[in-house]
A and B are shown apart, each in its own frame.
Chain A
């Protein structure tokens, strides 16, 4: 039930935004997000944006792993 899906912000109108979710346009509530801009990516849970997301995650995951290897004795 805690499912959230990524979406891209297309238009902002007050407490709502129009987003693109895998090619579909949807209106979502953005009250929980401070400072949102057009083009930002957000995670959407039950019609609300709950977090902005950063797309560089592959590099991030790889970095964590490499750091761990350095940690190893």
Chain B
């Protein structure tokens, strides 16, 4: 960071801290934002009147246990390997986690990219590879590109078990049905890289809440919080501002959006700790359903209401109603080494971030 950039940050921080006279709540929807805010120590710079609360944007945290159970059920087939991003390994279903299955000798393969899955499928010709397709719109086009390539190259042993989620219905749920009170929203920059600004416009136009599409550097986050504060205090009118223009075009990434439309359709899905949100899922459409592991292996993913371990507040934390420190298990019975709830499992989960870097109280 240059001296000029440092001075810019200091100037904004001073302006923010002088302008905020009463408590305000700003939600960072994205798990990566939660992590970066804590890592850069941004809370320490800001007045304690600004409460930064987390939202539902950690895909691993909102994945239902039934989905994990379905992946584990697949591993009972002799010829099936489950490929997954590392984040999902420790998430527990009612029958344990993929990590435990792996230690029992079942075929669980950690991958870095959908490209690795293609290589795997080509290498293990006599076997079936099921890729655990979890994520938001940022990752959805990657799965779509993978299937398009599989179709072109006539690869027939590759399947997806999808639990892909859309951000806009979740945001509407939080601001509408759940009635969570926030004064401003930091919108997820890498989801917007794909979707464009469209899904985030309603935050301001329909719910009249200041919103900024934000990048992930300290300067992006501080400048975005500064802009939110100017809107919250009424210095400037409420409107959606994109401070991450170096990456996010208004129309998003049209090639990626086309791919999503080519491969997926919109349907409903249950979010762990939150419940069913209509229109919030991306599932394979009729053109690509031959790649659907649920159909191929006759799996039923029940969408029962999630039960959490005793005292676990993840359900409230995921919608920004509570912060991890209010949970009695936090740091005592529940730590990243021995996580009880989903928010402690992913490194971007609100509880794991609080545990590692501290929270509001610093």
Contact = CB atoms under 8 A, between A and B. Distances in A.
B193 A43 contact: yes
A3 B31 CA distance: 9
B270 interface: no
A2 interface: yes
Given A45-B139, A45-B142, A32 B85 contact: no
Interface stretch (B109-117, B274-282, B293-301, B303-311): B109-117
Interface residues of A, number: 31
Given A4-B138, A47-B112, A64 B30 contact: no
A1 B8 contact: no
Interface residues of B, number: 56
A24 B271 CA distance: 37
Contact of A46 (B113, B193, B241, B243): B113
Nearest to B115: A47
Given A2-B30, A55-B246, A61 B219 contact: yes
Nearest to B136: A2
A50 B236 contact: no
B223 A46 contact: no
A4 B253 CA distance: 15
Contacts of A62: 8
Given A29-B145, A57-B245, 19 more contacts: A1-B348, A2-B32, A2-B57, A2-B138, A2-B190, A2-B191, A3-B190, A29-B115, A32-B253, A46-B139, A47-B112, A47-B113, A48-B115, A53-B246, A56-B246, A57-B220, A57-B246, A64-B227, A68-B236
Interface of B: 2, 4-5, 8, 12, 30-32, 57-60, 85, 87, 112-116, 134-136, 138-139, 141-142, 145, 188, 190-191, 193-194, 215-216, 219-220, 223, 226-227, 230, 235-237, 241, 243, 245-249, 253, 255-256, 259, 346, 348
Interface of A: 1-4, 29, 31-34, 43, 45-48, 50-51, 53-58, 60-62, 64-65, 68, 71-73
